[in-house]
Amino acid sequence: MARRTRVLIIAIIVSFIAFLDGAVINVALPSLAEELGGGLALQQWAVDAYLLTLGAFILLAGSLSDSFGRARMIRIGLYGFGITSIACAMAPDGVFFVVARALQGAAGALLVPSSLALIVATFPLAEQGKAIGRWTAWTTVAFLIGPLFGGILVDLVSWRLVFWINVIPIVVALVMLRGIARDEPAGDHAPIDWVGAALCVVGLGGTVFALIEGERLGWGSPLVVVPLVVGVVALVVFVWWEHRTPQPMLPLSLFRARNFAAGNLATLFIYAAFSLGPFAITIFLQEFAGFTATAAGLATLPPTIMLVLLGSWFGGLSTRFGPRIFMTLGPMTVAVGYLMTLAVSAELAFWTEMLPGIVVSGLGMAITVAPLTAAILGAVDPARAGIGSAVNNAVARIAGLVAIASIGVIVGSALDVAGYHRVAIATAALLVVGGVVSWLGIRNPPQAARAAESSPATSASPEE
C-alpha cells in the first residue's frame, strides 16, 4: 500500500475514533442520566467534561505533535483513549463517569491534530484540499453510524456499550501504524508550555462550571461567582502568558495570517452552532417527543449522509475556486435549516416539521466543513501544521463546550417546544455571524485562482 494512502487511512481511523465518541454520546444521554441520576446537568457534563480537556490540551498536543512526531503522539493517544473508554463503560456513578470523560478528552486531544498534521506533512499543497475533503467525508462516517449504532446499543443492551465499541477501531489503528515509519519531528524538542496548559484548563473549567451550574445553584451563589471570576481571570492571564513566553502552546503569531485568524473566528461561531443544535435535537426528540434512542439516531442521519457524499466534492471545489464563497453560503444554509425547524409544535409531526430543516442543514454542513478546514490549514507553514491544526480543533471544541454549557441559560431546566425554538434561533444566529465573518475575513489564496484557470471541470470529482 502506498504511503500516502496508508497515511490517509490511518488519519481517517484515528479521527473516526475521536469523532465516534462525540457522535454516540448524545443518543446515550437520557439513558445515562436515568441510570446515574443528575438530570440535564449530568447530560451537559457528560459532553462538556470531554470537550473541556480536549479543548484545553489539544493546543498542547499540537506542540507535542510537532516536537516529538505525529505517529508517536497518535500511538500514545490511542492507548490512553482505550483505557479511559473502558473506565467510562464501567463507571459506577456520575462523578466517576465525568472524571473518566475528562481523562478521555485529554487522550483524544492527541489524536485529531496529529492525524491532520500527518496529512498536511505527507500530501503536497495542490492535493491537500482533496485529501482533507476525503478525510472530512470519511471521518463523518463516525457521525453516520454513531447515533444509529449507539441508539441500538442503548435500546437493546446498555449505554455502557457505547464506550466499549471504541476498542475495535483503536486496535485496527494500532495495527496499521506498524506499517508507518517513525516520522521526523519538525525540529529540536522545544520546552512544553505547561503553565499555559494549566491556565487554559482553569480558565475553561471555571467558566464552564459556572455556566452549567448557574441555573441550579443560582447566579449569585459564591459557588458560581468564584469559579466564573477565576475562570475569566485565568483566560486573560493565559493570553498574556502566551504573548510573553518564548515557547507558547498557542503561538499568537499564527494569527498574523489573515485566513488563519478569520477562519478560526468563523469556526468559533460555526462550531458552537454545530454542537448546540444537534445536542438539543437529540435530547428533545427523546425526552419530549418520546423517540427511542435508535429513532433519535436515525433522525440525525441526513446531515451525516450528505457530509459523506458531498464533503470531498466541496473540498475539491474549494481548492479550485477558493474557500470564501463556501464558508459564507454553507453556514447561511445551515441557519435556514434550523429556522425551518421552528415549525415544530407540541404535536410533533417529524416528517413535515423537522426533517426538511435537518436535510437543509446537512447540505449546508457539507458545503462548509472541508473548505473551512482546508482554508485554515492552508494558511499555516507545513512545519507548524500540528499546532495549526490543534488551534483550529481547540477553537471548534471550545466553541462547542461553551455552547452546550450555555444551553441551560437558553432553555432553563427543560427542553420543551418553547425551549427548542429558542435553541434553534440561537443556533441560526451563530451560523449567520459565522457566514458574515467568513465573507468579510477570508481571502482566496492565489493557488485557487490558478487551479480554476487550469483544471478541467471534472478535477473536483470525489472519485479521483
pTM, full prediction: 0.75
- Sign of the Cα torsion 60, 253, 392, 9 reads negative
What is the three-class DSSP state of 124? Answer: coil
Cell numbers of 289, please?
Answer: 417527543
Model pLDDT, residue 452 = 44
pLDDT in tens, 261-299: 999 999 999 999 998 998 899 889 988 888 888 888 888
Cell 485557487 belongs to which residue?
A: 448
- Kindly calculate the radius of gyration of the chain based on its CA atoms and give it in whole angstroms: 21
Q: Which of 271, 259, 242 is nearest to 398 (CA)?
A: 271
| Residue 290: strand, helix, or coil | coil
Q: What is the pLDDT of residue 142?
A: 65
Higher pLDDT, 431 or 450: 431
Q: What is the pLDDT of residue 457?
A: 34
Name every residue whose Cβ is closer than 8 Å to that of residue 177 and which is 6 or more positions away in sequence. 10, 71, 74, 75, 78
Q: Nine-digit cell at 4?
A: 500516502
Mean pLDDT over 295-319 rounds to 84
Task: Provide the pLDDT for residue 460.
Answer: 32
* DSSP classification of residue 347: S
Q: What pLDDT does 458 receive? A: 31
Residue that the C-alpha cell 471544541 belongs to = 397
Q: Coil, helix or strand for 414? A: coil
Mean pLDDT of 248-257: 84
Mean pLDDT of 246-275: 89
Asked if 331 and 364 count as a contact pair (C-beta separation under 8 A), the reply is: yes
Give yes or no for residue 157 having a pLDDT over 70. Answer: yes
Closest CA to 65 of 80, 53, 77, 83: 77
Averaged pLDDT of the chain:
82
Share of the chain above pLDDT 70, in %: 89
Considering only 286-290, 321-325, 336-340, 365-369, which range has the smallest mean pLDDT? 286-290
Cα dist. 292→3, 34, 349 in Å?
43, 14, 16
Fold for the domain defined by 3-180+249-460? Growth Hormone; Chain: A; (1.20.1250)
Reading phi first (left if > 0) and then psi (alpha if -120 to 50, else beta), residue 412 is in: left
Question: How buried is residue 350: exposed, middle or buried, by Cβ count under 10 Å (0-12/13-18/19+)?
Answer: middle
Nearest to 173 by CA among 2, 368, 15: 15
pLDDT surpassing 90 at residue 424: yes
* Beta carbons of 206 and 216 less than 8 angstroms apart: no
Q: How far, in Å, CA of 109 to CA of 180, rounded?
A: 21
Residues in the chain, total: 464
Given a cut of 90, whether residue 123 has pLDDT beyond it is no
CA 57 and chain centroid, separation: 14
288 CB contacts (<8 Å, ≥6 apart)? 348, 415, 416, 417, 420
Domain map (residue ranges) of the chain: 3-180+249-460, 193-248
Q: Which band of pLDDT confidence, cut at 50, 70 and 90, is reported for residue 447?
A: low
| Per-residue pLDDT reduced to its tens digit, 201-244 | 888 888 888 887 787 778 888 988 999 999 999 999 999 998 88
Is the Cβ–Cβ distance between 138 and 308 less than 8 Å? yes
% of the chain with per-residue pLDDT over 90: 27
Closest C-alpha to 143, from 285, 18, 49: 18
pLDDT score of 348 more than 80: yes
How many Cβ atoms are within 10 Å of 426's Cβ, its own excluded? 22
How would residue 71 be classed by pLDDT, with cut points 50, 70 and 90? confident
pLDDT at 199 over 60: yes
Q: How confident is the model at residue 141 (pLDDT cuts 50, 70, 90)?
A: low
Contact 306, 420 (CB under 8 A): no
Average pLDDT over residues 10-38: 81
Residue 422 has pLDDT above 50, yes or no: yes
pLDDT digits (tens, 9 = 90+) for 354-405: 999 999 999 999 999 889 988 888 888 776 766 777 788 778 878 888 888 8
3-state secondary structure of 177: helix
Q: What is the pLDDT of residue 87?
A: 95
Dihedral sign from CA coordinates of 349, 353, 355, 358: negative
* Contact present, 319 and 329 (Cβ < 8 Å): no
Position 450 scores a pLDDT of 40
- Give the pLDDT of residue 47: 86
Determine the number of helices (DSSP H) and then strands (DSSP E) in the chain: 21, 0
**Between 446 and 457, where is the model more confident?**
446
